[in-house]
Amino acid sequence: MTTATFSSIFSPTGCLRKDGVSSSKADTWNAKKVFVKCSVSTKTQKAEKEVRLGVLGASGYTGSEIVRLLANHPHFGITLMTADRKAGQSIGSVFPHLVSQDLPKMVAIKDADFSDVDAVFCCLPHGTTQEIIKGLPKSLKIVDLSADFRLRDISEYEEWYGQAHRAPELQKEVVYGLTEILREEIKGARLVANPGCYPTSVQLPLVPLIKANLIEPKNIIIDSKSGVSGAGRGAKEANLYTEIAEGIYSYGVTRHRHVPEIEQGLSDAASSKVTVSFTPHLMPMSRGMQSTIYVELAPGLNFKDLHQHLKLSYEDEEFVVVLEEGAVPRTHNTRGSNYCFINVFPDRIPGRAIIISVIDNLVKGASGQALQNLNVMMGFPENTGLLYQPLFP
């Protein structure tokens, strides 16, 4: 067992703090003053960690990303992992990059024992997750990464996902997990629906602007691009190297299932129905996401008003970074991290602005935000285990 000792204030591990719970960038600054020496094992020892976690769907891309991120979490240890086709295998055999993680073998969900688990990350395909979560012990805190609980209106779920909602009672207690916007609600939640990657990249810039009436909530045009890991690890013809490399393609044109999720969040912000034009594209990159958003300014405003408002809105946030004027957000600059980089540009057409938002779809768009939410639900500093800097080049 290799053990690393950190005493530096720059420790990425979120070492134990003396001063209780907090949640934003301000907390990081405070935390710097109070970091104490701590030991972090490079192999997970559940006995050392206070919170025992289950990762359902650990053999998928978001599940394995949770495992990667948790390696540096001082309070969360994994006691249960599930897989479907890969049940019975170790994480290192399915994901050789995680071979140093000393974790239990993955089991089928039907064989899972939750008696040693306090909280669960549910990283399963949508459509399967409502039934599974319905069957879990009520004592568990749950962050669901699928789309199964994101839409409050169950008839809307049926319309966009093509099947009736299977856990309408549970839906009533769900909190939508866009951490920076709904932190207070997430604190008291038992079941959090983690946002989709596209909706995260879109709502983070737009919600504060709509709430402050700085943009017209109509005529919003969203052009989004995703890395291929957004489609999961399952083999699909459309995701073969030969289909993806050296080209891009639009999909879900006019009717992608993230439209109602985006519109739900923006309508909440506007307190009236907002509709958007949204087209996602698949890019020849393994991870990363960019949303380029075209908006109409409220009368008399220019792009600097939007920039300044976003700066102020997120100045205390750890993970949402509004860049200096003119700097272009790039997917390369958030890769492997929980950051969302945003900037606003003037359009040539008077009265319009262009917003660019980038995230790593697997981190802020999925597993990183899920961990951020569980930190909040469990009362730990929100950035715990999440201060990985972006991987560049």
Ligand X SMILES: NC(=O)C1=CN([C@@H]2O[C@H](COP(=O)(O)OP(=O)(O)OC[C@H]3O[C@@H](n4cnc5c(N)ncnc54)[C@H](OP(=O)(O)O)[C@@H]3O)[C@@H](O)[C@H]2O)C=CC1
How many residues belong to the site for ligand X2W (CB under 6 A)? 12
Under the criterion CB under 6 A, does residue 288 sit at the interface with ligand X2W?
no
Q: Out of 15, 122, 123, 197, which one is annotated catalytic? A: 197
Give which of ligand X2W, ligand X, none residue 355 binds (C-beta under 5 to 8 Å, depending on kind): none
Under the criterion CB under 6 A, does residue 186 sit at the interface with ligand X?
no
Window 212-231: residues binding ligand X2W (CB under 6 A): 226, 230-231
Q: How far is the CB of 255 from ligand X (least distance, A)?
A: 17
Instruction: At 239, list the tokens.
Output: 């995701």
- CA nearest to 296, candidates 211, 207, 215: 215
Window 359-378: residues binding ligand X2W (CB under 6 A): 365
Positive or negative, the CA dihedral 364, 370, 374, 376 is positive
Distances (CA, A) of 218 to 129, 262, 267, 268: 33, 13, 11, 14
Q: What is the DSSP letter of 389?
A: P
Comparing every residue's Cβ against ligand X, the nearest one is 60
CB nearer to ligand X: give 60 or 77: 60
Binding segment for ligand X among 120-128, 310-318, 326-334, 372-380 (CB under 6 A)?
120-128
Under the criterion CB under 6 A, does residue 198 sit at the interface with ligand X?
no
Phi-psi region of 68 (alpha: psi -120 to 50; beta: other; left: phi over 0): alpha
Instruction: At 203, list the tokens.
Output: 């709502």
Q: Say how far apart CA 135 and CA 258 lie, in whole Å.
A: 26
Q: Are 262 and 222 in contact (CB under 8 A)?
A: yes
State the binding string over 130-159 for ligand X (x if CB under 6 A, else -).
Answer: ---------------xxx------------
The residue type of 224 is S
Instruction: At 81, list the tokens.
Output: 């992992």
Tell which one of 109, 147, 189, 374 touches ligand X2W (CB under 6 A). 147
Under the criterion CB under 6 A, does residue 60 sit at the interface with ligand X?
yes
Residue 177 phi/psi, 5-degree rounding, is: -95, 45
- Tell me if residue 123 is catalytic: no
CB nearer to ligand X: give 113 or 315: 113
Under the criterion CB under 6 A, does residue 59 sit at the interface with ligand X?
yes
Instruction: At 254, list the tokens.
Output: 């006019």
Q: How far is the CB of 60 from ligand X (least distance, A)?
A: 2
Go through the chain and tell me how many residues it has: 393
Q: How far is the CB of 83 from ligand X2W (least distance, A)?
A: 18
**What angle do helix axes 368-378 and 61-70 make, rounded to 10 degrees?**
50
Give which of ligand X2W, ligand X, none residue 38 binds (C-beta under 5 to 8 Å, depending on kind): none
State the binding string over 172-211 for ligand X2W (x if CB under 6 A, else -).
Answer: ------------------------xxx-------------
Could you write out the three-class secondary structure of 347-378? Answer: CCCCCEEEEEEEECCCHHHHHHHHHHHHHHHH
Phi-psi region of 83 (alpha: psi -120 to 50; beta: other; left: phi over 0): beta
Q: Say how far apart CA 366 and CA 178 lie, in whole Å.
A: 11
Under the criterion CB under 6 A, does residue 368 sit at the interface with ligand X?
no
CB nearer to ligand X: give 289 or 297: 289
Residues in contact with ligand X2W by CB under 6 A are 126, 146-147, 196-198, 226, 230-231, 280, 282, 365
Which spans of this chain sit near ligand X (rule: CB under 6 A)? 57, 59-63, 83-86, 109, 123-126, 128, 145-147, 196-197, 229-230, 232-234, 361-362, 365-366
Catalytic residues: 197
